[in-house]
Amino acid sequence: GIPEIVENGRSGALVTVGDVEELAAAIIAMLKSPDRARQMGEAGYQRVVTLHTVSRQTSEYLKVFMATTTT
């Protein structure tokens, strides 16, 4: 899910589902600070290319598959 991918305040902004004011505030904060938004985008990119590679995802799916087939 999203909380496993996005580090709130470091690689993006997490807001409460359905809270449009919180979402608007997060968007406005990024618009007011483009350098910070860029840093968060770069941190998010690095997190994805480091932690969510095809080989790692395949390995994680295989673990889940093996766990469910052996029970």
pTM above 0.85, yes or no: no
Q: What is the pLDDT of residue 15?
A: 96
Q: Averaged over 16-37, what is the pLDDT?
A: 97
As a whole number of angstroms, the distance between CA 60 and CA 66 comes to: 10
**Rounded distance between C-alpha atoms, residue 1 and residue 12, angstroms:** 14
pLDDT tens-digit profile of 40-61?
A: 999 999 998 988 888 888 988 8
